[in-house]
Structure 1
Amino acid sequence: MPLVKNQDIRIFYEVVGQGQPLVLLHGFAGNSKDWKRNGYVETLSDDYQLILIDERGHGLSDKPHDPAVYEMQKRASDIVAVMEDLNLKKSHVWGYSMGGEVCFGLAQFYADCIESLIIGGMAPFPPAHPEVYDEQIAVLKRGIATAADAWGYDSSERREEFLRNDPKALIASTIAARDWSGCEDILETLEIPCLIYVGETDSFMFDAAKRGASQIPEAKLVIIPGLDHGQAYADSRLILPHVRDFLQKRN
């Protein structure tokens, strides 16, 4: 079980496949298994060395309860620590939602480590609606089972996986995300090729993702018809063609 220690935090990762390295970063309250469950790993592992990481506070990685430990540069440094453990100087990096936020953190603090960025359902700005994060915190304070009910984890497999989360760690992560100041100041000078995609009905991120893409010179924006925030992660069949095309042009 590969674990790398970064700033006293143990980070779990798994490597699948061969080829150009591609780091995969999951969303909030998920873990690296999501990429397998949603069909991405099976499709991509023949062509890429996939590096699946459990972000701090999630999966098999350590789950501290202090919001300060989830500050953006620290979260981004976890990814660099995994890359260094694998002797990788650069990699393509793909993150969805919270994982996309960490992608922007990498661009802000560790741009030299990035070959290209694929960012789904996220924008490089402070939260437009911090009250949404406060509501999320309030739900988590009532317990992980209550959160599972509130957020629709109804299938037995998905619910069982979600219930393994530490609610105090998720609260700390949410506080840090709510208070993130964004990285708008780096966008116009960012020279990393970026694919930014967002679901057409993603009320949470649609406008902000479009605005973010418009400010990055090397960014391509893809709008996925008919999909909301969760669906634009779960439905890999509609996402993968855009990602494959983007990566093939970089390789």
Structure 2
Amino acid sequence: MTIITTGDNVRLHVEEAGSGLPVIFVHEFGGDHRSWEPQMRFFSRRYRCITFGARGYPPSDVPEDVAAYSQSRAAHDIADVLSGLGIDKAHVVGLSMGGFAALHFGLDFPDRALSLVAAGTGYGAEIEHEAYFRGVSEAVAANFLEQGSELFSLTYAEGASRVQFQSKDPRGWAEFQRQLGEHSALGAANTMRGVQARRPSLYALEDRFRAMQVPTLVIAGDEDDHCLQPGIFLKRVIPACGLMVMPKTGHTLNLEEPAAFNAALAEFFAMVEAGAWRPRDPRANPAQIMRTR
């Protein structure tokens, strides 16, 4: 265990295992550094694996001021963790909130990303649902503060894209729910208000994504409805982007389907390291249905 102090003096809890090329795992809103255990165990056999608790997630610091939380700060926290460990470049893997952070890291620090994985990424990005997402984010923040994490976790963990995990793996889901119930209510509320509710839509970043050359893999569950269209959008605008859709799967991809998730990442990393994950062939014109001449 290591403590890394960020540029704005927030201490982050960091854990690592293994040796080799670095891979850093960035957790979702409903998870924490423990959520990546299936990946830490699998990939540390051949990589230097890093996971950390985001600000607001003990044992990392929980700043009391919501102004200390933002999408930009989340991307910079990844950079600060890598710098604190003496790492120049890494594969960056994020789920949901962590996927947004990974994408913003690729935009802000492209020279420091070997590759990007954005799994379950898209909530709040759809323009038609933007107002609803901001409203429900505020309601979630208020519920954490009013009910406390232990009680509200019982509700949050049974969301429409979480029940797939519960049905497939009740024991794994119960561990996820229990760990969620251990989170700081203040940290959860500030994260929801400062990061989730205020982050820019992915669609507003189209020009920047089109210019980003980092090899990228987007993964979505086919029952994680609000990540499907954003996933297709990212596939279309990021030059070296692949899209994987996992069948009969919800939001908590890395825990719900760990074997398939790990296999996809392993293949992706190998392709990137071989220089074989390239931008889309210009002959693959999406406007063409069949070639006639």
Structure 1 length-normalised TM: 0.91
Equivalence map 1:90-129=2 (5 Å): 90-123=89-122, 126=125, 128=130, 129=133
Which residue pairs with 2:2 in the alignment? 2
Task: State which of 204, 207, 228 in structure 2 corresponds to 1:185.
Answer: 207
Which residue pairs with 2:242 in the alignment? 220
Which residue pairs with 1:34 in the alignment? 35
What's the offset of the Cα at 1:169?
Answer: 1.4
Code of the residue aligned with 2:2 in structure 1: it is: P
- Cα deviation, 1:78-134, whole Å, max 9, x if unaligned, reads 111111122111111000011101112212222221110011011397463323313
Q: Provide the alpha-carbon RMSD of the alignment.
A: 2.0
- Cα deviation, 1:48-94, whole Å, max 9, x if unaligned, reads 11011111111321111322211122221111111112211111100
What's the offset of the Cα at 1:231?
Answer: 4.4
Which residue pairs with 1:148 in the alignment? 153
C-alpha separation in 1, matches of 2:92 and 2:16? 14
- Cα deviation, 1:160-213, whole Å, max 9, x if unaligned, reads 422321111111111121111143331110100000010011023221122122
Aligned residues, how many?
249
Code of the residue aligned with 1:161 in structure 2: it is: Q
Residue 163 in structure 1 maps to residue 181 in structure 2: yes
Which residue pairs with 1:206 in the alignment? 228
SS in 2 for 1:29: coil
- Cα deviation, 1:136-171, whole Å, max 9, x if unaligned, reads 223213221231121248966444422321111111
User: Which has the larger Rg?
Assistant: 2
> 1:231 and 1:120, CA in 2 relative to 1: closer, same or farther beyond 3 A?
closer
Which residue pairs with 2:66 in the alignment? 67
> 1:165 and 1:234, CA in 2 relative to 1: closer, same or farther beyond 3 A?
same
> 1:233 and 1:66, CA in 2 relative to 1: closer, same or farther beyond 3 A?
farther
Structure 2 length-normalised TM: 0.79
C-alpha separation in 1, matches of 2:15 and 2:106? 23
Gap regions ≥5 residues in structure 1: none
> 1:20 and 1:231, CA in 2 relative to 1: closer, same or farther beyond 3 A?
closer
Code of the residue aligned with 1:77 in structure 2: it is: H
> 1:110 and 1:206, CA in 2 relative to 1: closer, same or farther beyond 3 A?
same
Gap regions ≥5 residues in structure 2: 159-169, 274-293
Which residue pairs with 1:86 in the alignment? 85
